[in-house]
Structure 1
Amino acid sequence: MDEHGEPASPAPTPARPAESRPLRAHAQRNRDALLTAAREAFTAGESDIHVEEIARRAGVGVGTFYRHFATREAVIEAVYDERIQDLCHRAPDLLESLPPHEALRVFMEQLVQHAVESRSMAVALKTVMDLGSPVFNQGRETMSDTIGQLMAAGVADGTIRADVTADTVFRAMGGICASHDQPGWEKAALDVMHLIHDGLRHTDPSP
């Protein structure tokens, strides 16, 4: 009863936001499954894999694919961006566990490994690059910025020269990685990368 003796209206049912969480989690799982299927296909050299096959391997319908990615090119971009973010997000951990100049060396080695692993994606990536996708320029900026952060830490502790820019180092690394289709490229790339790293050191290179 209310204050006038009338039957009280039923209290409104409170919102239950928790019920939407499984939907969001389910959608995230679907997106992750699509990215995994696409990444594995591209890494295996299946550059011409169709949307329908990516969806089938992810265990979802084609409609679910298009709810997450507007085009096939969009999933290629997402796979590439995921790889770049994963690579660059390791830098803070490297700085926590290693001296700055060593963290820089390890990251540069990881860049070479990234290029090695990206070779099988080359055809798929070229398709997107030919369309003028901005994701590659963004990826380059992210990698160059990460090199800059590692170099700045080395400059601060006196182990890395201050007269070389991160962009110069990244361009040099890019030049090395551009020849990834040549025989024996990986070892040669690591050798040249170590020369670059030694040239950045303020002190004598370690033997």
Structure 2
Amino acid sequence: MTEEAGGRLRADAKINQDRLLNAARRAFARDGVDTSLREIAKDAGVGIGTLYRRFPTREDLVWVVYRSEVDRICTSVAELLAQHPPVTALRTWMESFLEFLATKRAMADVLKAALARDDDQRLEIRDRLTTALATLLAAGVAEGSIRTDVAAFDVVMALGGIALVAAEPDQRAQAARQVDLLMYALRPLPSRSTGRG
């Protein structure tokens, strides 16, 4: 096999994997993790054998989809800050994070088993998400649009609470209102007058 042919095969394998992950992401969000793997392969435009070569078990596929979603959310921060003021970037990221949590909820049982096998990976993912949010908060603090005493982990947990109570498609409006309240709570505190009179 020539070097060019080997490179082309690697590129084709990457394209197939990306198609499979995108198809699986859509299917898990729509139907949960019990969706047909054959339908995922069909949606991706590949054979079921290609899916099993890349992901020998359903759990393997769920885990890789989950990790790819974490990567997407964490790497989106720089682009959001380049395109929007910090407050808008933060709000957009929060909405994306809630969509991620909804997908994670659909995969919860399989993920729980996967994460139970490797606590270090669970902590690493939590730290990555918290760090991404901390970057957005710091940009807002520097601009003066976000209060200075906010812990990124507290905001992550607040978003997790919103996802628990308003994760269904028909609750999108409620989730948006709760994010509005959270954004309001992140505004700088009004300065207190110390004068007498």
**TM-score calculated relative to the size of structure 2:** 0.77
Match of 2:194 in 1: none
Q: Which secondary structure state, in structure 2, belongs to the residue aligned with residue 89 of structure 1?
A: helix
The 8 Å contact of residues 166 and 174 in structure 2, kept in 1 or not, is answered as no
1:75 equivalent to 2:61? Answer yes
* Identity in percent: 34
1:18 equivalent to 2:4? Answer yes
Match of 1:149 in 2: 135
Could you say what the CA RMSD is over the residues aligned between the two structures, in angstroms? 2.8
Look up the equivalent residue of 1:160 and give its one-letter code.
I
Match of 2:20 in 1: 34
Match of 2:195 in 1: none
In 1: Cα distance, 2:94 partner to 2:26 partner: 24
The 8 Å contact of residues 177 and 189 in structure 1, kept in 2 or not, is answered as yes
CA shift at 1:90, angstroms?
A: 2.2
Aligned CA distance change for structure 1 residues 58 and 190 (closer, same or farther; 3 Å): closer
1:169 equivalent to 2:155? Answer yes
In 2: Cα distance, 1:183 partner to 1:156 partner: 35
Larger Rg: 1
Structure 2: any 5+ residue segments left out of the alignment? 191-197
Aligned CA distance change for structure 1 residues 59 and 160 (closer, same or farther; 3 Å): closer
User: Which deviates the most, 179-188 or 125-134?
Assistant: 179-188
In 2: Cα distance, 1:148 partner to 1:140 partner: 12
Aligned CA distance change for structure 1 residues 137 and 95 (closer, same or farther; 3 Å): same
Q: 5 Å matches for 1:1-207?
A: 16-116=2-102, 118=103, 122-131=105-114, 132=116, 134=118, 137-180=123-166, 185-202=171-188
Look up the equivalent residue of 2:107 and give its one-letter code.
A
The 8 Å contact of residues 161 and 201 in structure 1, kept in 2 or not, is answered as yes
In 2: Cα distance, 1:26 partner to 1:99 partner: 38
Task: Give structure 1 regions of 4+ aligned residues with deviation exceeding 6 angstroms.
Answer: none
**TM-score calculated relative to the size of structure 1:** 0.74
Structure 1: any 5+ residue segments left out of the alignment? 1-14
Aligned CA distance change for structure 1 residues 126 and 97 (closer, same or farther; 3 Å): same
CA shift at 1:164, angstroms?
A: 1.4
User: How many residue pairs align between the two structures?
Assistant: 187
In 2: Cα distance, 1:133 partner to 1:95 partner: 35
Aligned CA distance change for structure 1 residues 16 and 167 (closer, same or farther; 3 Å): same
Aligned CA distance change for structure 1 residues 124 and 200 (closer, same or farther; 3 Å): closer
Aligned CA distance change for structure 1 residues 125 and 183 (closer, same or farther; 3 Å): closer
In 2: Cα distance, 1:53 partner to 1:106 partner: 31
